[in-house]
Amino acid sequence: MLLSSTLAAAALAIVAQDQVVLRAAPRDSAQQQTMLSQGDSLEVRGEKMDFLQVYDHRRERSGYVRASQVRQTTLSASEAPELLAVARFVRDTPGTEAMGIAFVAAYLKAAPATAIDAEPFDILGTLADRLARRASGASKAQEALLSTQVDTARHYGIGFIDIERDGRVRLCYEGEAFRRVLALSKQDVQRAHAALAITRSDCIDPTLLPSKRQAVDQWRAEVLDRVDISKLPEYLKNRMHARRASVWASLAFHEAKQSTATVDGIATNTAAQRALDALASVNKAELSEDDQSAYAEAAIRTGAVRWGAQTGMRPVGRLTLRAAAGENGQTCLSVATTPATASAQPLRCTYGVVWPQSLSVNPAGNIAALAVQPLDGWREMWVLRRNEAGWTVDVLPPSGNAPDLGYVEFAGWVPGGTQMLVAREVRQDGRMRRSFETVRLDSLLTDKKAEEPSSLSTFYRWQDAQWKKLTVSLR
């Protein structure tokens, strides 16, 4: 991590307020040179009345500021504990991030190398991460002020990255301080907080190529696995389990795209089982309100790949499903009532992951449901229907909006041959929604739905036993 050359000064003044005026002379009526913000570091060159004569290396301006608006330090080793104490105080004070970063930088300059442990980097990472979050959610009135504080933080070598997602730009801290915490700290709680901070999915560039995204997810999994969670508080264990579930679910999708190892024709997927195990390890009795959203996201991601943990085909009667490699990484499907009548002409091709173990056929043998996952965290259901002309395919997505997070899955056949049961989980407009539905087979439109299976008599009565056993939607 780089530190400002300003900190090489013999005497330093750290601006403790926003909108501090640097004036040309030591009086309030003097000409304004520039406007300073909290966290700015100034070289002290003299004192006159209650003003300090300073030089701003960042803007290359000299002038005077009131002594009461700054905090002075000589950057001596004897002052290091005091500097760290101030950083500790502002760590959990929203709105003082830039000043806290300045005090941490001053401490790292003043303290002997042998005295520096993981704590200042933990404080630095916490402040930088909170500043990035505040800047991302800033109102119009706050944008200018927070932008100035971000620029001040960048002056100390703090790295931020811009992530564009869904037409909005999000500012994220790049995480260098947290990486140092993982390298230096022996405290499990400290290491867990650092690991959670640098493995967030919302700070991953959505434009990454699949191979690079897989490498990032593999690194995230390794970071999380290096943290011993056995002695963590229960709420923190839950956060680690939920994050591991999300990461391993993403790896399961990558693994399914590339896997060649099979058991009875079904690709093996160890990552999917790890995602399921991590999700099942969450203690829901100790799940805080703040963690509900992260837990729901982990459940959706895991639900999208949960078929990867199943290596056996469910009984499908006389229906035969064949998957063959198509052009440019496609998977092409063909269906027949018997192996002998299977057509060489594919019914449909997809670039997504086909989960053949999910195939379910209605009692009449003329309608089937199949799970197909085109994107990480987004799984659709293909409904295959046989008519006089042959087999056709209709796609039922988790929602009608643009793909975000979600899955839709078969949950049972309703006697009569006109309806089937469907379970959905989806993130829409930042909110997690879960529903259990009866869907018309002729149009794939929802007939009735409820938030719980017990609230929908048809669903409660005819839900598929295997679905009930394996789904994560009933968590």
pLDDT in tens, the chain (475 residues): 444 444 554 689 999 998 999 999 999 999 999 999 999 999 999 999 899 999 999 999 999 999 999 999 999 999 999 999 999 999 989 999 999 999 999 999 999 999 999 999 999 999 999 999 999 988 888 888 899 999 999 999 999 999 988 778 899 999 999 999 999 999 999 999 999 999 999 999 999 999 999 999 999 999 999 999 999 999 999 999 999 999 999 999 999 988 754 444 566 689 999 999 999 999 999 999 999 999 999 999 999 999 999 876 666 666 778 888 888 888 898 887 765 555 557 888 999 999 999 999 999 889 999 999 999 999 999 999 988 888 899 999 999 887 889 999 999 999 999 999 999 999 988 889 999 999 999 999 999 999 999 999 999 999 999 999 999 999 8
C-alpha span between 253 and 50 (Å, rounded): 64
What is residue 347's predicted lDDT score, i.e. its pLDDT?
86
Joined tokens for residue 144: 């200018």
Q: In which residue are the tokens 């005077």 written?
A: 64
pTM confidence score = 0.89
What is residue 263's predicted lDDT score, i.e. its pLDDT?
45
Which of 317, 321, 341 lies closest to 332, judged by CA? 321
Q: In which residue are the tokens 């405290």 written?
A: 187
CA atoms within a 13 Å half-sphere pointing along the CA-CB vector of 19 = 3
What is residue 327's predicted lDDT score, i.e. its pLDDT?
83
What is residue 402's predicted lDDT score, i.e. its pLDDT?
76
Using a 10 angstrom Cβ sphere, with 0-12 exposed, 13-18 middle and 19 or more buried, the burial of residue 428 is middle
C-alpha span between 99 and 20 (Å, rounded): 13
What is residue 341's predicted lDDT score, i.e. its pLDDT?
54
Query: What structural domains and CATH numbers belong to the chain?
Result: 1-184 (2.30.30.40), 186-312 (no CATH), 321-470 (no CATH)
- Between CA 298 and CA 303, with CA 301 as vertex, the angle to 5 degrees is 105
Q: In which residue are the tokens 């839900």 written?
A: 463
What is residue 139's predicted lDDT score, i.e. its pLDDT?
82
351-363: string of b/e by CB count within 10 Å (b at 16+)? ebbbbbbbbbbbe
Alpha helices in 281-361 (DSSP H): 292-305
What is residue 310's predicted lDDT score, i.e. its pLDDT?
87
Name residue 204's amino acid.
I
What is residue 313's predicted lDDT score, i.e. its pLDDT?
64
C-alpha span between 264 and 162 (Å, rounded): 46
User: With left for phi above 0 and alpha for psi between -120 and 50, is residue 228 left, alpha or beta?
Assistant: beta
Name residue 382's amino acid.
W
What is residue 5's predicted lDDT score, i.e. its pLDDT?
46
What is residue 320's predicted lDDT score, i.e. its pLDDT?
79
Dihedrals φ, ψ of 164, to 5°? Answer: -95, 125
Signed CA dihedral, 248, 354, 400, 449: sign only: negative
Cα distance between the two ends of the chain: 43
